[in-house]
Copies of this chain bind each other. A is one copy, B any other.
């Protein structure tokens, strides 16, 4: 039951974040005849909006897969979960920043840093569960844990590369963010029954 309330709270936060993203796409304030070009100029914002929408969706998916392995909650787990939610809740800010200042190094870096922080927190939670088998339905054995490592390493490594490259080749950073997202989406889509089997 208690787990249900944490899940409901967590799902609520994800659902709100993913829906709030649209609020930062403000309608242009121009003469009707200038609306077409004004909307075209918004395309970078649309790109970052769609990117962030699916990034949040991927985090929700991944959060769900972690949560279903949890049986009991302790205080530390709940705070780790809150820190994870913090980095997810923050998403509308880097999204709006990158949409407003497209291809600029600082927004590109801030966007990637938030993704990394969220991702690292997810990893810390997994490590915490690994060390606290009493909280899990079935203990996360060394092999399962090790199998997850490459995904975390590749994801964060690519994010780091995107953050650095934002100063020289911002288009490449964009491509890297999109590539990691696509990779994770394909990976999740291939799991035959993602919410049943771990």
Contacts and interface: CB of A to CB of B under 8 A. Distances in A.
Interface of A: 1-3, 5-9, 11-25, 27, 29, 32, 35-36, 39, 50, 53-54, 57, 60-61, 64, 68, 72-76, 78-79, 82, 85-86, 89-93, 96-97, 100-101, 104, 106-107, 110, 185, 188-196
A34 B22 CA distance: 26
Nearest to A6: B195
Nearest to A186: B75
A114 to B, nearest CB: 11
Q: Is the interface of A mostly helix, strand, loop or mixed?
A: helix
A64 B4 CA distance: 12
Contact of A82 (B6, B54, B93, B192): B54
